[in-house]
Amino acid sequence: MANTYIEMETLKFLLFNVHDLKGVLQQERFSEYDEESINMMLDSVKDFSDKEMYPYYKEMDENPAHFKDGEIIVHPQVTKYMKAGGEMGFLSGSFSYEAGGMQMPSMVVNASAFIQEAANNHLPGYIGLTVGAAELIEHFGNQSLKDTYVPKMMAGEWGGTMCLTEPQAGSSLSDIVTTAFPNGDSYKISGQKIFISGGDYKGAENIVHLVLARIKGAPAGTKGISLFVVPKNRLDDHGNLEDNNVTTVGDFQKMGQKGYCTTHLFFGDKEDCSGWLVGEPNKGLKYMFLMMNGARIAVGRGAAAIATGAYHASLNYAKERPQGRELQKTGKKDASQEQTMIINHPDVRRMLLLQKVITEGALSLVFLTSRYQDLSQSLPDAESREKYKLLLEILTPVVKTYPSEMGITSINNGVQVLGGYGFCSDYILQQYLRDIRISAIYEGTTGIQSQDLLGRKVTMENGKALQLLSEEIMNSIEESMAYETLRPLAEKLGSKLELTQKVLKSLMGYAKEGDYQRFLADATPFMEFFSTIVVAWQWLDIGREAQKAMISGDASFNAEFYENKIHAMQFYFKYELPKTTGLAEVLMDKQSLTLNTEKQVFA
């Protein structure tokens, strides 16, 4: 079945019915948009993705980006996509009108990107990092940097990256050694960076690198890190591009996302690499986190999209693959019957439903955080903006992690639906599984996100963000209690909020004693516990909106659509939410089995 990598009805239901995009569009910042214009735009993105992205998905895996004769060779569709992205507003959508952008809500920008990523996740990263780099320059750069780089990047003529990781430092940014030497109104940059996605490729006129480095003599640790614009090609005195001594020395061949190049870069091996300071010295990591937080949401969105494409691929297969006979209530099978489609087997249906609740729950979480981002920027009063900023802060590590980790689980079940064929390269499921695996590593691993959630976000401002989130969930529970069919599920979710308080009370005891190593040792199980509850909340909202629409006779979607959402909600509450009971037992167990001690546990 062609182009069945996404269900647009579900996307629009989540946007408008569950997460009230209309309310966001009523804010002055977004007042030039309405439901009709948004739907037309999303439909045009789907049409573009059908024609220019989805058909190249398998091809880009089979013909990966690679290093040859000093440059990165990518699929020709990459350059075409960047150009089209500039023309269609994929790069300028989130920028303000003053910056030359389209000033779209984050909800809409992420919906557009989700469609593209579900079609072909190898392409959107080139645009995503370019947008993030341009946003950093726009937010913190001087007018000269803005004028020089942002228009070209928004047009898709120049690409962009963020360069953090170094061979000896990995995720430990306090250990980076790339150095910036003052040189008049610029700096000489010297060092190397690895794992730079979209770092260079043939066909790009220029790549604008946002590089973390230390100005010579700066303090040690993260306090001494500054941010620099370091283009592959700099402008000479006549406005022409000339080489800036940024050298691609190799690439990384990956298990998935092979069409999305990942490079190893040297800066200044001939001592002629110029960089320009962004903002103030020694504040680079603070600035970079603006881009990293957006990138973390984007990683979660991309993972949700990859899992969605895989879900539809396995669903299509299950509808078309005949195998075996249905087991009758007597426990017997009638061999004289024709073979049944495997979608009729209960265990296959269980795996498909698991895929459905993970993917749609993850997408709902992406739109929720996008909504919080929009409201934190557009509401007229400062107190309300601060509320949504805190809600966004506590959910950012969750929206990055749940789709990434559970997306792997989802696609793994999709491979299982196909049986032996799922393990063969003839079918696309194995590619989706390889592609999504990086999501749990991109922009801070699951362990890093989990420590951020428990160690920083849960405790920030004396627990205010957690309190606000609890209030949001309680509001949903109270609203759902008005529906008899939803009341038992609402009560279950309420009991899980109480369980969360017990778990946190147990864990916070270690923090109060000053034993932070023990406090954070089980941060990853806590992430799984916490995110499972948050997504249950999403499904309660989805089910309630479907129930409400059926009662009111809303014909925006047919009755079967609404019934499917309610059935999926019930599945999540039966099969997924109970897992938190076991996780709570793990989290409140007093044993310390993973801390480094003198005991030789790995002998």
- Which residue, among 205, 207, 192, has the nearest Cα to 130 in the 3D structure? 207
Q: Which amino acid is at 595?
A: L
Record the tokens describing residue 15, joined without a space. 């946007």
- The C-alpha torsion from 448 through 449 and 451 to 455, rounded to 10°, is 140
Q: How far apart are CA 325 and CA 252, in angstroms?
A: 47
Residue 1 burial (10 A CB sphere; 0-12, 13-18, 19+)? exposed
Q: Are 209 and 215 in contact (CB under 8 A)?
A: no
- 36 is an active site residue: no
Q: How far apart are CA 161 and CA 267, in angstroms?
A: 14
Give just the sign of the alpha carbon dihedral 437, 443, 444, 446: negative
Q: Are 404 and 446 in contact (CB under 8 A)?
A: yes
Q: Which of 117, 405, 443, 528 is catalytic?
A: 443
Q: How far apart are CA 172 and CA 188, in angstroms?
A: 24
Q: How far apart are CA 342 and CA 344, in angstroms?
A: 5
DSSP secondary structure letters along 80-131: HHHHHHHHHTTTTTTS-TTTTS----HHHHHHHHHHHHHH-TTSHHHHHHHH
Which residue numbers are catalytic? 443
